[in-house]
Amino acid sequence: MGTLAQGYIIIFAVTLAGHSIGLTAGVYACLLVLSTTDADEDDWRAPAVQLGLAAAMMLGTKITLAFLVAALLLASAARLLRRSGTSVAIRSLLLASVFPLLAIGPLALHSWLTTQSPAGVVTAKAFHAAFFDAQALSAYEGTRLLFAWNFMG
């Protein structure tokens, strides 16, 4: 699989497998949220662990899925809140949140401590990270625009 961009063939097969794992985990997480049923004091842990592991896999393959991960965790807690009460919803949310935080937390912390930006150049402008010079920010912006224009710019 590839595309022609200004005379160069760009191959996407290298990242296809990795991204498919994250997207599969995303579909699984959505199904978990949609299939949330009444949970009592005994059976809320397994679905929370499954959702948390799926969320961690999503973040591990593509950090830009962080907003979707947060939305899925909150949607799951909201459904549990309506069906099973506050205690179960809060405990489920906390347990499910542990896995994605363990997956991405150490990397974000290391990035923040070394560059003053939790997601490197992606969040450098928002955090006013002096570590990245104008050339690095320009290169990132150019790459982002190249993808936004589907390599036709």
**Token pair belonging to 29:** 């997480």
Q: Rg of the chain over CA atoms, in angstroms?
A: 19
Q: For residue range 83-131, what is the model confidence (pLDDT) as tens digits?
A: 888 888 899 899 999 999 999 899 889 989 999 998 888 888 889 988 9
Of 65 and 153, the one with more pLDDT: 65
pLDDT class of 39 with cuts at 50, 70, 90: low
Residue 51 neighbours by CB distance under 10 Å: 29
Please state, in angstroms and as integers, the Cα–Cα distance from residue 21 to each residue in 116, 124, 135, following that order: 30, 28, 33
Full-model pTM: 0.72
- Cβ atoms of 65 and 59 within 8 Å: the answer is yes
Q: What is the mean pLDDT of residues 66-73?
A: 91
Nearest to 54 by CA among 39, 65, 44: 65
